[in-house]
Amino acid sequence: MYKLYVIIISSYAGAKFFLSFLQHIPACHRLSDRGDSWRLVRFMKWMHQEHYYVGRGMYERASDFMKYMVFWFVVLGGKFSFAYFLLIRPLVGPTRLIVNIPVTRYSWHDFVSKNNHNAMTIASLWTPVVAIYLLDIHIFYTVISAVWGFLLGARDRLGEIRSLDAVHQLFEKFPAAFMNNLHVPLLNRDSLHSSSQGLEKNKIDAARFAPFWNEIVKNLREEDYISTLEMELLQMPKNSGSLQLVQWPLFLLASKLFLAKDIAVENKDSQEELWDKISRDDYMKYAVEECFYSVKFILTAILDDEGNNEGKKWVERIYEDIQGSIANGCIHVDFRLNKLPLVIQKVTALLGILKKDQTPELETGAVKAILDLYDVMRHDILSINMRDNYETWNMLSKARTEGRLFQKLKWPQDAELKAQVGRLYSLLTIKDSAANVPKNLEARRRLEFFTNSLFMEMPEAKPVREMLSFCVFTPYYSEIVLYRMSDLLKKNEDGISTLFYLQKIYPDEWKNFLDRIGRDENASESELSDNPNHILELRFWASYRGQTLARTVRGMMYYRKALMLQAYLERMSAGDVEAGITGKESTDVQGFELSPEARAQADLKFTYVVTCQIYGKQREEQKPEAADIALLMQRNEALRVAFIDVVETLKDGKVHSEYFSKLVKADINGKDKEVYSIKLPGNPKLGEGKPENQNHAVVFTRGNAMQTIDMNQDNYFEEALKMRNLLEEFHCDHGLRPPTILGVREHVFTGSVSSLASFMSNQEASFVTLGQRVLSNPLKVRMHYGHPDVFDRVFHITRGGISKSSRIINISEDIFSGFNSTLRQGNVTHHEYIQVGKGRDVGLNQIAVFEGKVAGGNGEQVLSRDVYRLGQLFDFFRMMSFYFTTVGYYFCTMLTVLTVYAFLYGRVYLALSGVGESIQDIADVLGNTALSAALNAQFLFQIGVFTAVPMILGFILEQGFLRAVVSFVTMQFQLCTVFFTFSLGTRTHYFGRTILHGGARYQATGRGFVVQHIKFTENYRLYARSHFVKGMEICLLLIVYLAYGYNEGGALAYILLTVSSWFLAGSWLFAPYLFNPSGFEWQKTVEDFRDWTNWLLYRGGIGVKGGESWEAWWDEELSHIRTFSGRVMETILSLRFFIFQYGIVYKLDVQGTDTSLTVYGFSWIVLAVLIILFKVFTFSQKISVNFQLLLRFIQGVSFLFALAGIVVAVAITNLTIADIFACILAFLPTGWGILCIACAWKPVMKKVGLWKSIRSIARLYDAAMGILIFIPIALCSWFPFVSTFQTRLMYNQAFSRGLEISLILAGNNPNTGI
């Protein structure tokens, strides 16, 4: 019976395992779904019931499965090859040898290493190797995903237009590309194929493209990125006139006519060679052709059309002769081309008169100018035989002699004619090249990306009336809405105002702003105070350059503007029979924003809800933020604001609070008008604030789709034009299931000035482009990483919404939207033909707080049911993708740091125990070089190099190889490696602390401009526990290894072995001061030291915050240790500090060769004496107020006894000065270990009355650590050139743009002129 039982159980288990394996193969899963009608299939499914309701059916189609399976085969193949050949195999032989070596000589009293085959030695060698084995898969994933992402981006045509020169060269292809992708399909457009029809098609394309391009340029001017002159050069003619050619913007044709004129004047060759020289530059050819036909068009239009029509006949005769000469190939013979400058001069003079309003004087001048042109053409240019057209020329000569030639002019009144006159005049007068137009770097970047995206693959655009409707959704709490003048003029401690900073950082945009409002370019802001409208415009100008709600609202409202323009032009198209519009009028967009039909169509398809949680409270308290939000609603009629309204009523003598979720808009009088009000059952803020803010207002959103936008984001008009293409992605084939979240590319706009901002921008750009590209395809594990993504609104509001808001565990609320969507059979995609602006933190402290928040959020994700379900229900390869792109990334980051610790503690063990030297001696005897290599193994890679690979490949793809190399080398000179190494410590600390103790919390980073100096105290408070303590520990390990380790190669071997660890420690200790503005200025250093000592010694009290007192800060730093398990883990981790004392005391000269425990026990007696002496010298003066004299006597005697004891010990024993320093090395970590354990058991210490003593010792340690960090800073501050170098290092981008950073950092002096 037992055998039968085993057989049945084994059969059932085998069937379950086999079915489970099959269910993780997508093709088998789909096959089983199709075979539900078969009883056998239903029976097998019943046997293998899925245990989860949420998360069923998370499989992909076979082709997608094969793609990410191949990806992981490549990653795992590289990982295992590397691990076997470079990590494991070289150590196998030495390990076997070490196991068999009988080590009998130890430097200390050995407990565990005898008779166990040198297990501790094996562990010290293999622990870092095992750690590398666990994390190197992430390195291979990073490299291979970067290469894959690079190839995907190249396939998608990213980076094809990466310079202004490329925009110039490819501009003539833009209209056709625009019509193919962004314009709704036109009837009969594709049927035009012949050469004449091809010209007609090009002209139609240009005419349709022109209003969109001109509106883009106009918006760049309104945003002050370009000047008025640049706007005129960039704008494209309507191309709806009668000229039979495509007219291109002036910035392409500027100066081309003069170059063509010079070629013609100097030409000695045939007509064909002359035209070939001109045609080498397409835009030179276009400029010549346009000038040729435009002159004919203008002259024909203005010359008299009464009587004999001599004027028109003259024009026709000249042009017939020119065309005849061109046909015969002898224009260089029939016309004196060296006289062309005269013709250009006369035509320019005529156009200069015609472009003005008509007056009798100007009319007389115009007649004279045409007669001069006639004379030049007749006597200077023409060298043809006039006998062939004797009658015409004789008539013209007679009219000229009688003074009636050209006497009747038809002054340009028609809009098209006036536009042609002005355009031709510009063509003939702009002699400077416009190759650098626009000059502003941001304007260039935007135009480059937009034009590049025209050639990328995207769905066909639907007409506005047929497109999906959508809503934009922005959460807001109490951040800056609009800068007030008091904020802009307020000076920081260096005397720098925000407005002054902006004027110096964006000098060209400030100049364009003053020109736009009609002020002199040298006007100061004080001169604007006479005009309230100008003051308001100034506030908006400054706010649009910060991370404000006003900037976000302006950007998102471009969607409405784009939809109005598209709807207006669709209605005005020639095919709109109902409108009765002619072809010429179909591209006229003047006043499109006032069209009732266009506005109604846009409002049907787009809504914008900003959920300002406390707007009602701000309004009641008359906060300036409420007034600014109301102003935004007045300026943007489609803007809606949702908020929580708390109504308090008195009932039965008690105050009752009722909560309402309300939606308001601005009425015609500018007042708030309530649209909806929903009574809530209670206070809706139960969880994290931001997701709760979204949850209460999501009911007010409308449409098929919803784009979640954070309040530090921006949008651009040209990108808004592509929104209807993006929405069509919901109907495209992106896998087994339709998309539920459309990922959108981000551009980080805060990386333009400081080096730190640039590092953060490049790091973020690498992730939001190349990284997410791979997550979407082929890995199929892209989630929701931020706020430009577009959600299928109906899908998500019927599956729990877009935000999870449980306290602490959902602190990173955005990614849980992706988890939720994937678990419920959603599909998340990524699209890079459209981008949204994104602001990031720009100061080191802001960046550290942000990264700490994200790392803590990832630590909480480890504990969430969502991650558990995804890990359980993904197939193996998709699970690997998911792990290494979410929590696995932070785990590998932490493991990188732990590898350094394992390596160094292993080295210290070998050094202090004496085993390393013993084995090395034996190895020398045996001649085993492999063992020597194993004992002196260097890290096989530096983690930072590999993590930079995606950034480098992203640079190459979107900037080109040369610019990518320059950018990367520049970043290295700016110490980007120091920054990334420092960030490694930030992520490790907060992720590890969250794993141990939980309790991650949301931290506001602040989104202001960071140019002021950060005090030493603030940096110390922020980084003491996360970086400084760990950096000091690594330094201590390295010093101990230097003092007691054995290296056969001497100093060089030690340097090669430890250089990466020294770099890590140095980065953690000094990066906050390297990247601190004016961090090495002597006066600020002195002030920082005074401020730090005041903070350290101030004892604080009730209500005192950590920024004011060391004691308050210390209590805050210990607040995360709350649970018994956390206290136990802290205790276990702190035990590592005791190895130093145990090892070093046996290395002292005073103990000789004694390895008994007595030596170690005596060291504890010495430590106890030192602690007692410390307590004597730090005895509280408040307690000893009644016996001050006795206390001082005891302190003096104690000091003398201690000094005498040291002298006697040196004199009568083998104690040396080196031993004293060695004791410091031994006792410092022991004291820190005791301190850490005492802090972990704080309640116990308080009960036994030792807490005050513990706090005194902790203050001493912080004082010592602060002094050790401060000394190098003070030494560097003594030399002025160090401060200059640091300023250049931090603001290299600004210097390269010629900005006055030195003025910004100089202090009060620059503001004297403001």
Residue 896's pLDDT is 85
- % the chain with pLDDT above 90: 32
Residue 438 has pLDDT above 50, yes or no: yes
Residue 57 has pLDDT above 70, yes or no: yes
Question: 90-94, 639-643, 673-677, 1307-1311: which range is least confident on average?
Answer: 1307-1311
Residue 1273 has pLDDT above 90, yes or no: yes
Could you give the strand order of the β-sheet that contains 639-651, starting from the edge strand earlier in sequence? 672-680, 654-666, 639-651, 606-612, 470-476, 705-708, 790-792, 741-748, 828-838, 713-714
As to burial, measured by CB atoms within 10 angstroms (0-12 exposed, 13-18 middle, 19+ buried), residue 477 is middle
Of the two residues 200 and 1225, the one the predictor is more confident about is 1225
ω into 438 cis (within 30 of 0): yes
Residue 1253 has pLDDT above 50, yes or no: yes
Residue 912's pLDDT is 87
> Tens of pLDDT along 285-303?
999 988 988 888 888 888 8
Per the CB < 8 A criterion, the answer to whether 1109 and 1259 are in contact is: no
Question: 1146-1150, 1155-1159, 1195-1199: which range is least confident on average?
Answer: 1195-1199
Residues 1089-1106 have a mean pLDDT of 81
Q: How far, CA to CA in Å, does 47 sit from each of 42, 43, 51?
A: 9, 6, 11
At which residue do the structure tokens 């949850």 appear?
Answer: 695
Residue 210's pLDDT is 92
Residue 932 has pLDDT above 50, yes or no: no
Indicate the pLDDT class of residue 938, thresholds 50, 70 and 90. Answer: very low
Indicate the pLDDT class of residue 942, thresholds 50, 70 and 90. Answer: very low
Per the CB < 8 A criterion, the answer to whether 735 and 777 are in contact is: no
Question: 372-376, 603-607, 876-880: which range is least confident on average?
Answer: 372-376
Residues 344-348 have a mean pLDDT of 88
Of the two residues 278 and 241, the one the predictor is more confident about is 278
- Rounded-to-integer distance, Cα 425 and Cα 355, Å: 8
Indicate the pLDDT class of residue 1131, thresholds 50, 70 and 90. Answer: very high
Of the two residues 597 and 398, the one the predictor is more confident about is 597
Residue 933 has pLDDT above 60, yes or no: no
Among left, alpha and beta (phi > 0; psi -120 to 50; other), residue 57 is left
Residue 1016's pLDDT is 92
Residue 1232's pLDDT is 94
What tokens were used for 292?
């040729």
Q: How far, CA to CA in Å, does 1212 sit from each of 1146, 1164, 1166?
A: 19, 21, 17
Sign of the CA dihedral with 333 first, then 335, 336, and 338 last: negative
Of the two residues 138 and 726, the one the predictor is more confident about is 726
What tokens were used for 348?
């320019």
Residue 813 has pLDDT above 90, yes or no: no
Residue 197's pLDDT is 63
Residue 68's pLDDT is 92
As to burial, measured by CB atoms within 10 angstroms (0-12 exposed, 13-18 middle, 19+ buried), residue 1269 is buried
Among left, alpha and beta (phi > 0; psi -120 to 50; other), residue 38 is beta
Burial 266-286 (b: 16+ CB within 10 A, else e): ebeeebeebbebbeeebbbeb
| Diameter of the chain measured on Cα atoms | 134
CB count in 10 Å sphere of residue 838: 24
Residues 1201-1216 have a mean pLDDT of 73
> Tens of pLDDT along 146-160?
999 999 999 999 989
Residue 937 has pLDDT above 50, yes or no: no
Closest by CA position to 710, among listed 551, 575, 558, 562: 551
- Rounded-to-integer distance, Cα 289 and Cα 127, Å: 76
Helical axes 549-572 vs 624-635, angle rounded to 10°: 10
Write the CB contacts of 602 (distance below 8 Å, at least 6 apart in sequence).
464, 560, 563, 564, 567, 638
Predicted model pTM: 0.89
Instruction: Round to the nearest angstrom and report the end-to-end CA distance of the chain.
Output: 99
> Tens of pLDDT along 538-565?
999 999 998 899 999 999 999 999 999 9
Residue 337's pLDDT is 82
Which range has highest mean pLDDT (251-260, 725-734, 816-825, 1180-1189)? Answer: 725-734
Of the two residues 584 and 555, the one the predictor is more confident about is 555
Residues 28-44 have a mean pLDDT of 66
> Tens of pLDDT along 779-807?
999 988 767 899 999 999 998 888 887 88
Of the two residues 972 and 993, the one the predictor is more confident about is 993
Indicate the pLDDT class of residue 417, thresholds 50, 70 and 90. Answer: confident
> Tens of pLDDT along 265-283?
888 778 888 888 888 988 9
Write the CB contacts of 828 (distance below 8 Å, at least 6 apart in sequence).
739, 740, 741, 743, 776, 782, 783, 784, 818, 821, 822
Side-chain-side CA neighbours of 944 within 13 Å: the count stands at: 18
Of the two residues 1 and 324, the one the predictor is more confident about is 324
Burial 395-414 (b: 16+ CB within 10 A, else e): bbeebbeeeebbbebebbee
Closest by CA position to 695, among listed 609, 824, 823: 609
Task: For the chain, give the mean pLDDT.
Answer: 83
Which range has highest mean pLDDT (4-8, 136-140, 720-724)? Answer: 720-724
- Rounded-to-integer distance, Cα 1180 and Cα 1102, Å: 20
Residue 1313's pLDDT is 35
Question: 161-170, 600-609, 646-655: which range is least confident on average?
Answer: 646-655
Residue 652 has pLDDT above 70, yes or no: yes
Helical axes 89-100 vs 119-155, angle rounded to 10°: 170
Among left, alpha and beta (phi > 0; psi -120 to 50; other), residue 967 is alpha
- % the chain with pLDDT above 70: 86
- Rounded-to-integer distance, Cα 568 and Cα 582, Å: 14
As to burial, measured by CB atoms within 10 angstroms (0-12 exposed, 13-18 middle, 19+ buried), residue 194 is exposed
Of the two residues 530 and 1244, the one the predictor is more confident about is 1244
Helical axes 282-302 vs 340-354, angle rounded to 10°: 60
Q: What is the DSSP string of 777-802?
A: TTS------SS--EEEHHHHHTTT-S
Q: Which amino acid is at 818?
A: G
> Tens of pLDDT along 15-26?
666 666 666 666
Per the CB < 8 A criterion, the answer to whether 840 and 751 are in contact is: yes
Per the CB < 8 A criterion, the answer to whether 454 and 174 are in contact is: yes
Closest by CA position to 906, among listed 128, 132, 136, 130: 128
What tokens were used for 111?
């407990």
Residue 360 has pLDDT above 90, yes or no: no
Per the CB < 8 A criterion, the answer to whether 814 and 786 are in contact is: yes
Question: 54-68, 72-86, 877-891, 1289-1303: which range is least confident on average?
Answer: 1289-1303
Residue 1132 has pLDDT above 90, yes or no: yes
> Tens of pLDDT along 201-239?
888 889 899 999 999 999 999 999 999 999 999 999 988
Question: 616-620, 736-740, 932-936: which range is least confident on average?
Answer: 932-936
- Rounded-to-integer distance, Cα 331 and Cα 325, Å: 5
Residue 161 has pLDDT above 80, yes or no: yes
Residue 135's pLDDT is 83
Residue 61 has pLDDT above 80, yes or no: yes
Strands (E), 755-847: 790-792, 828-838
Per the CB < 8 A criterion, the answer to whether 340 and 260 are in contact is: no
Residues 164-177 have a mean pLDDT of 92
> Tens of pLDDT along 451-496?
999 999 999 999 999 999 999 999 998 889 999 998 888 887 777 7
Per the CB < 8 A criterion, the answer to whether 146 and 140 are in contact is: no
